[in-house]
């Protein structure tokens, strides 16, 4: 299956965060899980929820990006790994 282009990832980010069209029309943000279900090509089709993970559960740049984020924050740009492009949203943290 072909990988999505960075342009597609920008489209996903805009759908999650909302945006204003050139004509001034405001497009309301959509929930992260809805966008993940619509556009994902893997288990994120279930809504993108990976459950609770430790740093050791994740690999390389994905882990680095995920553990830099504060609760409720999303990566400012897609993260590229050997599995494709990812937008990461940290919903909560445990001590």
Query: What integer pLDDT is reported at residue 68 of this predicted model?
Result: 92
For the chain, list the domains and their CATH numbers.
6-86 (3.10.50)
pLDDT digits (tens, 9 = 90+) for 8-59: 556 667 777 777 888 888 888 888 788 777 777 776 667 778 888 898 888 8
pLDDT digits (tens, 9 = 90+) for 56-88: 888 899 999 999 999 988 888 788 888 777 888
Question: What residues contact 90, with CB distance under 8 A and at least 6 apart?
Answer: 66, 69, 70, 71, 72, 73, 74
pLDDT confidence band for 1 (50 / 70 / 90) = very low
Query: What integer pLDDT is reported at residue 3 of this predicted model?
Result: 52
In sign, the C-alpha dihedral spanning 20, 74, 77, 53 is negative
């Amino acid at each position: 299956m072909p990988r999505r282009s960075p342009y597609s990832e920008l489209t996903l980010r805009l759908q999650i965060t909302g945006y204003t069209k050139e004509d001034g029309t405001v497009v309301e943000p959509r929930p992260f899980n809805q966008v993940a279900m619509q556009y994902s090509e893997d288990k994120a089709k279930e809504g993108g929820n990976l459950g609770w993970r430790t740093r050791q559960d994740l690999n390389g740049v994905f882990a680095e990006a995920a553990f830099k984020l504060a609760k409720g924050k999303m990566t400012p740009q897609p993260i590229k790994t050997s599995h494709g492009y990812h937008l990461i949203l940290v919903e909560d943290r445990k001590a």
